[in-house]
């Protein structure tokens, strides 16, 4: 399976006893590393193996033609006017669409395609198109599977990851329907189609929701994952010390050890253009902070020659406030009222250092 798939799906397959082979998502279908090629290779190498080949297996379409289609027709008592489904292999929409159109050629079949997939363009006859990556699982393709019959599909609606995921979360909170991301995409696409085509009470639209939300607990149902991927806006109350440290980017955490010479530490401050360093001992345990003001004051009080040979041991400020990475923003702000620097540490080990300027940078970048 491709590496974009949720960890829950991998763990579930392993629980059933499968050996899971994970392949890169961002390669062409005919690349030997793609999951299509790897599946082909594994089947050739493995005695008695079969390739279900869902992208080209006509039984895929047939199963929906024989089961899903009739079920929908019977349960709506033939009143269905619109059928909406996401398209992966296209087996669902093709099988259901064919069956429904045989019963009533006026039934409209609407596909939902994630932005980044090429199916939307192909349906419009645009063949010069390239795929881009997206996060929703199970729908969209970078090629046209032979299990997709575009002629059955009347219209295709494009949906972005953010809308898909936010709609999936709304479905469980507002409707009690706990389903996966492609279901949210299908509902979002269905609502957009209904609005644009002014559907009303006389219409009966069926939207297919393929799988359960429990496979996406570590992704779209996890607020941190949603925020990290920019799908959920952050409120100030959500911000933690570690978030602010992270926005400082690649800037390495500058440290010193108690046995470093004062002159070396001054050179380090200058080199990195910082005003303080955290001091950690040889075992990596946090000892405190040394600031340029402390260094200056100490040097002014000491004989020049002596200060050249002295270590920073005597000037370590062990009273600098230390917080955990999960400390919320309002607690940090209260500490900054009386302090210019805050150290972040987990257990004994240093995780970060924040100054008032870092706070200002973070708040202004988020605003
Ligand atoms: C979660 C999910 N949604 C939607 C689909 C799309 O269904 P189809 O392949 O029939 O187009 C799949 C296909 O596997 C899926 O796994």
Residue 314 sits in a domain whose CATH number is 3.10.580.10
**pLDDT score of 250:** 62
The whole-model pTM stands at 0.71
Say yes or no: 114 and 68 in one domain: yes
Instruction: Give me the mean pLDDT over the 228-243 stretch.
Output: 87
Work out the mean pLDDT of the chain and round it to a whole number: 94
Q: Is 111 close to ligand 1, i.e. is its CB under 6 Å away? A: no
Confidence at 224, pLDDT banded by 50, 70, 90: confident
Say yes or no: 30 and 129 in one domain: no
In eight-state DSSP terms, residue 66 is I
Say yes or no: 258 and 216 in one domain: no
Q: Is 325 close to ligand 1, i.e. is its CB under 6 Å away? A: no
Residue 101 lies in a domain: yes
Rg (CA), the chain: 29
304 CA to centre of ligand 1 in angstroms: 75
Q: Is 211 close to ligand 1, i.e. is its CB under 6 Å away? A: yes
**Residue 161: domain span:** 58-228
Residue 365 has pLDDT above 90, yes or no: no
91 CA closest ligand 1 atom index: 10
86 CA to centre of ligand 1 in angstroms: 7
Say yes or no: 13 and 125 in one domain: no
Q: How many folded domains does the chain comprise?
A: 3
DSSP string, 147-203: T--GGG--EEEEE-HHHHHHHHHHIIIII---B-HHHHHHHHHHHHHHHHTT--TT-
Residue 214 in tokens? 């429990």
Instruction: Give me the mean pLDDT over the 122-139 stretch.
Output: 94
**pLDDT score of 251:** 67
Residue 116 lies in a domain: yes
180 CA closest ligand 1 atom index: 1
Say yes or no: 62 and 196 in one domain: yes
**70-to-54, 61, 85, 109, 294 alpha-carbon distances in Å:** 21, 13, 16, 15, 80
Where a domain ends, among 228, 256, 285? 228
Residue 17 has pLDDT above 80, yes or no: yes
92 CA closest ligand 1 atom index: 10
Say yes or no: 133 and 270 in one domain: no
Residue 256 lies in a domain: yes
Pocket test for ligand 1, best of 89, 152, 212 (most atoms within 8 A of CB): 89
User: In this structure, what CATH number is given to the domain that contains residue 76?
Assistant: 3.40.50.1100
Say yes or no: 76 and 215 in one domain: yes
Residue 123 lies in a domain: yes
Q: Give the C-alpha separation, 321 to 341, whole Å.
A: 8
**pLDDT score of 306:** 81
Beta strands, E only, the chain: 82-86, 108-114, 155-159, 205-207, 255-256, 276-280, 286-291, 322-323, 341-346, 349-355
Q: Is 138 close to ligand 1, i.e. is its CB under 6 Å away? A: yes
**pLDDT score of 252:** 67
Pairing of strands 286-291, 276-280: antiparallel
90 CA closest ligand 1 atom index: 11
87 CA to centre of ligand 1 in angstroms: 6
Say yes or no: 85 and 152 in one domain: yes
Residue 201 has pLDDT above 90, yes or no: yes
Q: Is 140 close to ligand 1, i.e. is its CB under 6 Å away? A: no
Confidence at 254, pLDDT banded by 50, 70, 90: confident
Query: What percentage of the chain reaches a pLDDT higher than 70?
Result: 99
Say yes or no: 177 and 309 in one domain: no
Say yes or no: 25 and 111 in one domain: no
Say yes or no: 272 and 199 in one domain: no
């Amino acid at each position: 399976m491709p590496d974009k798939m949720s960890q829950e799906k991998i763990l579930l397959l392993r629980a059933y006893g499968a050996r899971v082979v994970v392949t890169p998502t961002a390669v062409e279908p005919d690349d030997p590393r793609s999951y299509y090629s790897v599946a082909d290779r594994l089947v050739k190498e493995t005695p008695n193996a079969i390739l279900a080949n869902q992208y080209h297996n006509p039984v895929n379409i047939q199963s929906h033609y024989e089961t899903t289609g009739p079920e929908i027709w019977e349960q709506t008592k033939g009143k269905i006017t619109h059928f909406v489904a996401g398209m992966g292999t296209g087996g669902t929409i093709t099988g259901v669409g064919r069956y429904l159109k045989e019963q009533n050629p006026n039934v409209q079949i609407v596909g939902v395609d994630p932005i980044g997939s090429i199916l939307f363009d192909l349906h419009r006859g645009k063949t010069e198109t390239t795929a881009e990556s997206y996060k929703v699982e199970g729908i969209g393709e970078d090629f046209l599977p032979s299990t997709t019959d575009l002629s059955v599909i009347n219209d295709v609606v494009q949906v972005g990851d953010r809308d898909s995921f936010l709609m999936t979360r709304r479905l469980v909170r507002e409707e009690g329907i706990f389903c996966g991301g492609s279901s949210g995409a299908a509902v979002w696409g269905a609502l957009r189609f209904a609005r644009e085509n002014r559907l009303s009470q006389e219409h009966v639209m069926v939207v297919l929701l393929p799988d359960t939300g429990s496979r996406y607990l570590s992704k779209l149902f996890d607020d941190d994952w949603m925020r990290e991927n920019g799908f959920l806006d952050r409120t100030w109350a959500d911000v933690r010390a570690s978030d602010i440290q992270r926005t400082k980017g690649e800037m390495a955490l500058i440290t010193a050890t108690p046995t470093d010479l004062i002159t070396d530490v001054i050179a380090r401050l200058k080199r990195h253009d910082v005003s303080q360093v955290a001091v950690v001992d040889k075992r990596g345990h946090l000892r405190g902070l040394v600031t340029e003001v402390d260094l200056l004051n100490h040097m002014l009080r000491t004989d020049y020659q002596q200060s050249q040979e002295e270590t920073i041991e005597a000037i370590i400020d062990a009273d600098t406030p230390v917080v955990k990475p999960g400390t919320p923003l309002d607690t940090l702000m209260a500490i900054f009222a009386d302090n210019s620097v805050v150290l972040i540490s987990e257990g004994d080990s240093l995780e970060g250092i924040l100054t008032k300027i870092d706070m200002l940078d973070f708040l202004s970048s988020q605003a």
